[in-house]
Amino acid sequence: MDSTTSHPESAVQRAPDPRSPDRPPVVGMIGAGQLARMTTAAATELGIHLRVLAAAADESAAQVTADTIIGDFRCLEDLMSFAAGCDVVTFDHEHVPGPLIEALEAAGHSVRPGSQALGFTQDKRAMRERLNSLGYRCPRFAAVASMDEIVLFAGQVGWPLVLKSVSGGYDGRGVWVCAGPDEAADVLSHGLPLIAEQFVRFDRELAILVGRSPTGQGAAYPVVQTIQQDGICREVLAPAPGLPAGKAAEAQRLGLAVAASLGVTGLLAVELFDTPDGLLVNELAMRPHNSGHWTIEGAITSQFEQHLRAVLDLPLGSPALAARCAVMVNVLGGDDPDLRSKLIHVMAGDPAVKVHLYGKPVRPGRKVGHVTAFGRDFSQVRDRARRAASYLATGSEDAGDYR
């Protein structure tokens, strides 16, 4: 049997007729990774037409989105062609060059979040300066272009310190913890624009996710704890265990205030350091975020639905917990390319765990899926999620081996 015998009509027009009286809203999402993939379910549910811009037809979201356009997000012609017929254009990543986003806006397209807000996710120096000027507490930082400047900054904050690429990093890429001047010199030699930051000795990392609509409605999810390793998110605990109510409310206020201050439309995730001296802002993302995957089952409104509501200026959904607690554990690729046979074991072992696979070929260290468990007891829920993710990733349920 040959799977290439698909009837040619499978290629019929997939865009809604703009003349139809019941034409659905059309949201164009630039990028076709797992965030766009997980947005498809929310769009389908609400009768929203989702179009994705993919680099290739086998990308995660392209596999499952009827209206997939192949194109290059660094090419204005492709972006303009993609945006034609969309009611709003949004993003699955922050790598579209700022001038191209501005050009889309200048051509009359609704781009949410807009170029001005998005600029702060593409320029860490501008983000730090802006947040500082607005009074939000961040790690101490300095723009550095030479060893003299790095050494001067180290005199203020000590070693180790953190060097960050001003733009382009995520999942720990573009971030270097330098124990001393030699390591800093190595990083400097790459020739990238950098900022230096104080190495923060935090108690734990938290994240606050908020939705904000163009009319200014805001909704904050419960604060979560995130557990990173090598700069990559491994686990998310929702809500953050043992977080005092006052600090949780402070983080939610902070998320909503930053979103309003920067004019964010859509989702804003703020990664926070929880320190003995209070909360510090680490990173920002203006899209669905790994720290919010638990919301698919664990919250009344998933982050993907909330992002769609927000960019379309629809009333926001309830961000309240749907379960007492939820734990999300990422599945990072291991040596074995075969997830399928391991999935059967996980399904049989825990019929209540929710597995999400992204349709991406397994490569070591790559996020290929995630697992969410939810329930009443945090330690049981966490154990279940970790065992399932560990087994998918490594073929062993010993989560101690996995982390």
- Residue with smaller CB distance to a second copy, 35 or 280: 35
- Residue with smaller CB distance to a second copy, 141 or 304: 304
- Residue with smaller CB distance to a second copy, 144 or 326: 326
Give min distance, CB of 219 to a second copy, in A. Answer: 8
- Residue with smaller CB distance to a second copy, 32 or 194: 32
23: its two tokens? 């034409």
Show contacts with a second copy in window 210-239 (CB under 8 A).
Answer: 219
Give min distance, CB of 9 to a second copy, in A. Answer: 4
Show contacts with a second copy in window 124-143 (CB under 8 A).
Answer: none
- Residue with smaller CB distance to a second copy, 190 or 324: 324
Give min distance, CB of 187 to a second copy, in A. Answer: 36
- Residue with smaller CB distance to a second copy, 156 or 380: 380
Binding mask 303-342 for a second copy (x = CB under 8 A): ------x----xxxxx-x-xx-------------xxxx--
Q: Which of 158, 300, 365, 401 binds a second copy (CB under 8 A)?
A: 300
Give min distance, CB of 376 to a second copy, in A. Answer: 12
Give min distance, CB of 365 to a second copy, in A. Answer: 17
Give min distance, CB of 160 to a second copy, in A. Answer: 40
Show contacts with a second copy in window 36-95 (CB under 8 A).
Answer: 37-38, 40-41, 43-47, 49, 57, 62-71, 78, 81-85
Q: Which of 307, 354, 367, 382 binds a second copy (CB under 8 A)?
A: 354
Show contacts with a second copy in window 367-386 (CB under 8 A).
Answer: 369, 374
- Residue with smaller CB distance to a second copy, 30 or 131: 30
Show contacts with a second copy in window 146-205 (CB under 8 A).
Answer: none
User: Is residue 352 involved in binding a second copy (CB under 8 A)?
Assistant: yes
Give min distance, CB of 85 to a second copy, in A. Answer: 3
CA–CA distance, 49 with 35 (Å, rounded to integer)? 16
Collect all residues with Cβ–Cβ distance below 8 Å to 190 and sequence separation of at least 6: none
Give min distance, CB of 318 to a second copy, in A. Answer: 4
To which residue do tokens 């972006």 refer? 79
Quickly count: other Cβ atoms within 10 Å of residue 180's Cβ.
Answer: 11
